[in-house]
Amino acid sequence: MRHLELPLLPHVKKDSPFLLIDSELDKLPTQLISNAPWATTQEKPEVEFVMAHSGDCLFLKYYVTEQHVLARYRQPNDPVYKDSCVELFISFQNDPAYYNIEFNCLGTCRIGFGPERHNRKLLPPATIAKIRSSGTLRAGNSASHKKAWQLTLVIPISIFSEHQLASLESEEHARVNFCKCGDELPEPHFLTWNMIQAPEPNFHLPEFFGTVKFLSSRPQPAEHASVGHSR
């Protein structure tokens, strides 16, 4: 099971300019989303992420390079997992129920809550609207014809409406997984940060979540930082 330590960024706030947020996140070591439990094609996007917190919100940034990019859905709770999609699964306080927070490359968001894959409670659009997002898309290597996109997200703890979270620092730990998918891309794929063992694609298996610890200090120098992959 993988473990991640999330640094505190005390001078970055939930309403800070994205220029500042990106600058701070880009300094941190990234984590790979590279496990392919259900490899069905040769297409395997290159996916990394970095995450930090400010006590009252999460800062999350994805870096994606892939052959195909699809972005059709624009309304909250649309089925964005059919597009080029990145996902965060997170549970608090040893609760068997968890949030699945999904974004296509436009930043369109779908959030569900519950203890299993089926019959999930979708959070209202007004709650989802509290999340801020900023994305970029550009052509990648001309020889490979791949596209590169990034998505930066500011997720206030108030969106975790099924819990009463005073501060992430007081929570100390949570259970998580980070995923990348594209169910209706020309070459569908399903990638995970923490490995999942299941016969068919299914991210909704909390027994395979990793863990995160919310630190109460700034990041340490690189040699002491969380294990990750530097760009």
Please report, for the domain that includes residue 103, its CATH number.
Answer: 2.60.40.1190
Instruction: Evaluate whether 85 touches 72 at the Cβ level (below 8 Å).
Output: no
In which residue ranges of the chain is pLDDT below 50? Answer: 222-231
| Domain count within the chain | 1
Instruction: Evaluate whether 101 touches 120 at the Cβ level (below 8 Å).
Output: no
Instruction: Evaluate whether 230 touches 29 at the Cβ level (below 8 Å).
Output: yes
Segments forming the whole domain that contains residue 13: 3-224
pLDDT tens-digit series, residues 59-76 = 999 999 999 999 999 999
How high does pLDDT run on average in the chain?
A: 92
Which region, left, alpha or beta, applies to residue 67 given φ > 0 means left and ψ of -120 to 50 means alpha?
alpha
pLDDT tens-digit series, residues 163-177 = 999 999 888 789 999
Residues 42, 44, 45: CA angle, nearest 5 degrees: 150
Check residue 140 and give its pLDDT. Answer: 61
The DSSP 8-state label assigned to residue 157 in this structure reads: G
Domain contains 15: yes
Domain contains 38: yes
Domain contains 229: no
Domain contains 164: yes
pTM: predicted TM-score of the whole model, two decimal places: 0.92
Residue at token pair 């960024």:
9
* Cα–Cα dist 202/38, whole Å: 9
Domain contains 231: no
Residues 101, 104, 107: CA angle, nearest 5 degrees: 80
Domain contains 123: yes
Check residue 169 and give its pLDDT. Answer: 85
